């Protein structure tokens, strides 16, 4: 009986560690997307190549753990990936519109999926923001 209790407690602890890992990777990706300001300068910095790498790692983890996650783990991982992918696309689109297709490193505006503009600067409705995400991140 004690072995079963240790396994259950260990399983819950491992689920919590997995979720913390996913959220830590998400925080790193958000930092690379300029959503979190640099602690020393206080200004957001964008590195789309590193953000793409971190997002791809989460996608790889999702694929490798398919069928082995509980409902909470699976839901948090999928939601985190979706939010980061949308934020990535927004940052890349802003860079392309603002500086003529700069791949990374320029000073960005603070990217936030909730604060996405409805129209482009030309006044035309943005149709790309509602398209289904494709695995290519555009960079």
Residue 8 has what pLDDT?
54
Distance CA 26, CA 32 (A): 10
Q: What is the pLDDT of residues 87-97, one digit of tens each?
A: 999 999 999 98
Residue 97 has what pLDDT?
87
Q: Where are the domains of the chain?
A: 2-130
Output the CA–CA distances (angstroms, integers) from residue 28 to 47, 57, 74, 107, in the order listed: 11, 12, 20, 18
Compare 125 and 84 and report the one with higher pLDDT: 84
Q: What is the pLDDT of residues 27-71, one digit of tens each?
A: 999 999 999 998 899 999 999 999 999 999 999 999 999 999 999
Residue 2 has what pLDDT?
54
Mean of the per-residue pLDDT values for the chain?
77
């Amino acid at each position: 009986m004690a072995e079963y209790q240790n396994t259950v407690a260990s399983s819950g602890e491992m689920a919590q560690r997995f979720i913390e890992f996913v959220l830590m990777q998400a925080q790193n990706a958000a930092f690379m997307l300029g959503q979190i300001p640099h602690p020393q300068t206080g200004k957001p910095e964008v590195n789309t190549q590193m953000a793409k790498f971190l997002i791809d790692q989460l996608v790889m983890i999702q694929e490798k753990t398919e069928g082995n996650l509980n409902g909470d783990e699976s839901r948090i991982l999928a939601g985190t990936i979706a939010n980061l992918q949308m934020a990535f696309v927004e940052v890349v689109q802003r860079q392309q519109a603002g500086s003529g297709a700069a791949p990374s490193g320029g000073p960005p505006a603070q990217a936030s999926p909730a604060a996405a503009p409805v129209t482009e600067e030309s006044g035309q409705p943005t149709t790309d923001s509602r398209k289904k995400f494709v695995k290519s991140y555009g960079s």
